Amino acid sequence: MGASGAGGPGSAGGAAALEAALAAGEVRLEGAGLTYRFTRSLAGGGLPPGEVTAALPAARAAGAAFARIVATGETAGMTEPVLWPRVLDDAALAPLEAFAARARGHDLVLSVGIGGSYLGNRVLRDALLGPGWNALPRAARGDRPELHFTGQHLDPLEARALLPLVRARAAAQASAVGGGGPLRVLVLAISKSGTTTETLATTLGLLEALGATPGVEVGLAALTAPGSVLSALVAERRGEALPFPEGIGGRWSVLSACGLVTAALTGVDCRALLAGARAAAAATAAASAGGGDPARDPALLYALLHHLHGRRGRTGAVFMPYAERLRCVSEWYVQLLAESLGKANDRAGRAVHAGRTPIVAVGTTDMHAQTQLHQEGPKDKTVTTLDVLDWGPATVADRVPEVPVAGALAGRTFGALNTLAREANEEALHGSGRPSDAWLLDRLDARTLGALLWTLMASVAYEGELLDVCAYDQPGVEAYKKIMRARL
């Protein structure tokens, strides 16, 4: 499997291949079901193709640097290994699947985490199961527990709101015909250090509150480093400790045990997810042999184009999926881009204050909210859309009936209308000199989602190399943590 488009397999990755790809306007990962279209990122107020081809040496250097990271797990500026690009093989899923089987008898799983320990898990649930997963009856969930997220903030009202839900579930179970026994709740804490303020505080608070709730049987499990506070807490309560993956920071962890644990619990096809990621990784590896080749590697081309947009002052990065199930992909991408590239200094210690500002927008919802700004406001941003080409057969719920009052809408499917809205938005932006590009999934399934997530992570890694910043540390985050610790 490989990338199709100009400069196919065996391409030297030269300027002619890149020029041909730019003329074609898209690069596709055939085996991954993923296409990157970028014509409107170039003309009409975007980037002159000559400027892109002139940056090819920098792109090739970034590709070579990323290939070294993949091969060695090492990069300048990090003493810890960088292992996220090494996608898990199926055998590595066995411990997660065994844990999921043991935990399946629970009624509720409360996943406690923040940042990448929350967002990656949320992406997989929302995209592949839907935000309304918990509202389905247990049989419709494949006889699996509800999955709730908490600890991603310190909002006291939200923390309190979880308890009435648990009490109501416990009361309903107790009053069921024949008696359902106690409500079994599993608290699943995810924190590498085991001392993350939000995670530790929420875990301790939940254990105390749930332990005092009649009709509730509470268990504890954690993904954390051995010897951490969380690890000791799990041992004390005779829970289950799962090892936090080595060399994988939170925002890069969605395709590791850290992100896959709740997917396994809820029956997501983790093997297909990883197969899609491996397909994207293989295409990147083939394209980067001897140096990066943006003509065959959509992750590198996306990074290069947006790096050049940033140099022209377009540092606002609107990421706009056209699906409610994909909203969380945009929220996940916010952390990935902001925390990885927002750096005061480059690797040589020079002040650069690098980074682009990611902005969450969602399809037609935000065409009625943000598009006025995108269309007529400052020319300081790009818009990247994300859409699905095949939503499957339409049903009566997502097709406009053939009735006179429907007018031109009669008989149209929501999927077709959704795509029409996206294309109209892109054309309007283009007409106003505002660059946009698009990621297109053949369908929304585990394989294509795995390919997309890996590709977006690779694009941020590439952009870090183009900026010559370390994409894997977070000194700005450590600054506020130090202040908090001093004041506790």
CB 111 within 8 A of CB 190: yes
Domains, in order of start, for the chain: 3-77+273-477 (3.40.50.10490), 90-254 (3.40.50.10490)
> Residue range 222-233: average pLDDT?
94
Residue 478: burial class (beta carbons within 10 Å; 0-12, 13-18, 19+): exposed
Q: How far is CA 389 from CA 41, 101, 194, in A?
A: 20, 34, 41
Q: What percent of the chain has pLDDT over 90?
A: 88
pLDDT of the residue at 13: 52
pLDDT of residue 5 exceeding 50, the answer is: no
Which one from 26, 331, 339, 426 is the annotated catalytic residue?
Answer: 339
CB 141 within 8 A of CB 147: no
Q: Which residues pair with 360 in a beta bridge?
A: 319
pLDDT of residue 155 exceeding 70, the answer is: yes
The helix (run of H) or strand (run of E) holding residue 166 is: helix 156-174
Tokens, residue 339: 């925390």
CB 7 within 8 A of CB 20: yes
pLDDT in tens, 420-473: 999 999 999 999 999 999 999 999 999 999 999 999 999 999 999 999 999 999
CB 191 within 8 A of CB 199: yes
Q: How much helix, strand and coil, in percent to the nearest 5, is found in the chain?
A: 50, 15, 35
pLDDT in tens, 14-43: 899 999 999 999 999 988 999 999 999 998
Q: What is the largest CA-CA distance in the chain?
A: 74
pLDDT of the residue at 178: 65
208 catalytic per annotation: no
Other C-beta atoms closer than 10 Å to the C-beta of 287 total 28
339 catalytic per annotation: yes
CB 224 within 8 A of CB 231: yes
pLDDT in tens, 64-102: 999 999 999 999 989 999 999 998 888 889 999 999 999
Other C-beta atoms closer than 10 Å to the C-beta of 80 total 14
pLDDT in tens, 161-217: 999 999 999 998 888 766 678 999 999 999 999 999 999 999 999 999 999 999 999
When the pLDDT of each residue in the chain is averaged and rounded to a whole number, the result is 94
Other C-beta atoms closer than 10 Å to the C-beta of 1 total 13
pLDDT in tens, 311-352: 999 999 999 999 999 999 999 999 999 999 999 999 999 999
Q: Which residues pair with 383 in a beta bridge?
A: 318, 436
What DSSP state is assigned to residue 224?
E
pTM: 0.95
Three-class SS of residue 33?
Answer: coil
Q: What DSSP letter does each residue of 342-368 carry, written as one string?
A: --SB-TTS-B-----EEEE--HHHHHT
